[in-house]
């Protein structure tokens, strides 16, 4: 590749990323640094160019997957291990981000505190039938903080599909609740409550009607 071609490619990439940040579904999480204790630290930042390339590799018999990817502009995932040096900062940042999402008109569809996990899931509606973006903030004070932003028309239950196609482990853990086996009811037996799989957190929407999701946090 010539120097001129390399400069042109870099300029195109920068221009695309700048355009992605102007999308209504974009959330600025800021920058993160690895924990001083050497804990987990993951950064995923995939723009429109790579998403488009991935969509072209989808088999023709899966048009719904191709349409989903073509409707996305940016995928960002940050996972930061929490220790004494960054706990207060990450908890404050999570609180500030949630406050800004509320202020900016994002709809909070999930709010859950379960098993020492504080989870917030938001969507940015675009009209009545489309979504401009999805944001998720998870704080596990003794483990890690997770920040996810997918810019584009996507529903929470489609996160796992995107994770599989883009090979993003942190998104593969999202999915619909497992199907319950249909059994003949015994009128004399007490009714059993359904439970999420071990290591999972069942999130129930608090806003508009939406599919329930089982989240296996990274």
Antiparallel, parallel or unpaired: β 130-140 and 117-126: antiparallel
The whole-model pTM stands at 0.74
Q: pLDDT tens digits for 101-158?
A: 999 999 998 888 877 889 999 999 987 778 999 999 999 988 999 999 999 998 888 8
Quick check: helix, strand or coil at residue 6?
Answer: helix
Given pLDDT bands bounded at 50, 70 and 90, which one contains residue 171? confident
CA 199 → CA 147, 184, 196, 218, distances in Å? 19, 28, 8, 10
The two tokens of residue 164 are 């599989």
The secondary structure of residue 206, as a DSSP letter, is S
Share of the chain above pLDDT 70, in %: 70
Residue ranges of domains in the chain: 16-177+191-215
Helix 48-56 crosses helix 63-70 at what angle (to 10 degrees)? 170
Q: What is the pLDDT of residue 172?
A: 85
Q: How far apart are alpha carbons 85 and 100 in whole angstroms?
A: 25
């Amino acid at each position: 590749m010539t120097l001129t071609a390399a400069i042109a490619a870099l300029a195109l990439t920068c221009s695309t990323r700048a355009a992605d940040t102007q999308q209504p579904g974009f959330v600025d999480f800021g920058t993160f640094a690895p924990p001083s204790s050497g804990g987990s630290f993951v950064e995923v930042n995939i723009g429109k160019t790579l998403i488009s390339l991935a969509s072209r590799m989808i088999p023709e018999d899966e048009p719904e997957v191709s349409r989903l990817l073509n409707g996305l502009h940016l995928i960002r995932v940050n996972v930061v291990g929490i220790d004494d040096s960054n706990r207060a900062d990450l908890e404050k940042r999570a609180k500030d981000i949630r406050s800004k999402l509320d202020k900016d008109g994002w709809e909070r569809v999930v709010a859950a505190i379960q098993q020492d996990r504080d989870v917030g899931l938001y969507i940015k509606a675009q009209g009545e039938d489309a979504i401009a973006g999805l944001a998720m903030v998870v704080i596990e004070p003794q483990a890690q903080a997770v920040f996810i932003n997918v810019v584009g028309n996507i529903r929470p239950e489609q996160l796992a599909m995107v994770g599989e196609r883009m090979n993003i482990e942190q998104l593969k853990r999202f999915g619909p609740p497992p199907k319950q086996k249909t059994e003949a009811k015994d009128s004399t037996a007490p009714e059993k409550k359904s439970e999420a799989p071990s290591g999972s957190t069942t999130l129930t929407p608090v806003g508009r009607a939406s599919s329930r999701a089982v989240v296996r946090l990274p």
